[in-house]
Amino acid sequence: MLESVLLMFSMGLLGSLHCIGMCGGLVSAVAMSRPTIWWPGLFGYQIGRVTTYTLFGLVAGLFGTALGNIGGWPMLRALAVIAGVMMIVFGLNLAGWLPDPLRRFTATISQRIGLAKLAHRLAGQASLSGWYMMGLANGLLPCGLVYAALGLSLASGDTAAAVGMMFFFGLGTIPSMMFAPSLIRKLTPELRGWSLRIAGVIVIVLGVMTTMRDGSMHGHQGAKVHDGAIHGQAMPDNTESGHSM
């Protein structure tokens, strides 16, 4: 569990650098439109995002647990591998070596749920609940990194583990998103480019490790479940043969 938590936190921490120019850009623009950055509002926004991610983890965990209970470990193993591949693709995009396939889709969804209008309406307001609601809505935006995190959470096959994994993933995204306005003001384009490349390479490595680790882990777990079922069926046979004697 600790290994999974560290992996998810690292995913959120490194991958959220990408969010500074994407979903975090809108919030940064709103925050920077004020004379001073309103930190309580930004914090409420982060808690809203983490809430959405945690709820996603609950749904993924329930679904993964159900699959595990009916012997769906091969499918969970496949989901873990797919999640690792998605991490690799996201890392390539983060490093600037691959275009973001979800950019237009994300912009469309943002427009549909009225995120931009909500953000601009909150620009001059000191409403913690409003910023929290904006965080909840932002967590719904399509994101390859979130999908990869959800895939790993679902593949855990455990509801509590999935909730914890998505919670720590959300916590990992807070530093970059919380200080995005300050970073945008201070980072030069060249320094930001190098930071994204380094983070992208690390995410790619994590993706490769995840693909290998989770594929192997669920293969062994599925084998244990299968062996347990066989032994469970064998027990009554031995008992019956003992009575017949």
Which range (85-99, 156-170, 215-229) has the least confidence?
Answer: 215-229
Q: pLDDT band for 177, please (50, 70, 90 cuts).
A: confident
> Is the Cβ–Cβ distance between 130 and 35 less than 8 Å?
no
Query: Of 186, 214, 150, 201, which is closest to residue 14 (Cα–Cα)?
Result: 201
Specify the pTM. Answer: 0.80
Q: Which residue has the higher pLDDT, 82 or 191?
A: 82
Give the distance, in angstroms, between the CA of residue 40 and the centroid of all CA atoms in the same chain: 24
For the chain, give the percent of residues with pLDDT over 90. Answer: 37
Say what the pLDDT of residue 185 is. 62
> Does the pLDDT at position 235 exceed 60?
no
Query: Of 132, 138, 195, 153, which is closest to residue 58 (Cα–Cα)?
Result: 153
> Does the pLDDT at position 76 exceed 80?
yes
> Does the pLDDT at position 214 exceed 70?
no
Query: Of 60, 69, 24, which is closest to residue 165 (Cα–Cα)?
Result: 60
| Most confident of the ranges 19-28, 147-156, 182-191, 193-202 | 147-156
> Is the Cβ–Cβ distance between 206 and 4 less than 8 Å?
no
10-19 pLDDT per residue, tens: 999 998 877 6
Reduce the DSSP state of residue 141 to 3 states and report it: coil
Query: Of 18, 2, 3, 12, which is closest to residue 166 (Cα–Cα)?
Result: 12
Q: Cα(238)–Cα(230) distance, rounded to whole angstroms?
A: 13
Q: Cα(31)–Cα(7) distance, rounded to whole angstroms?
A: 30
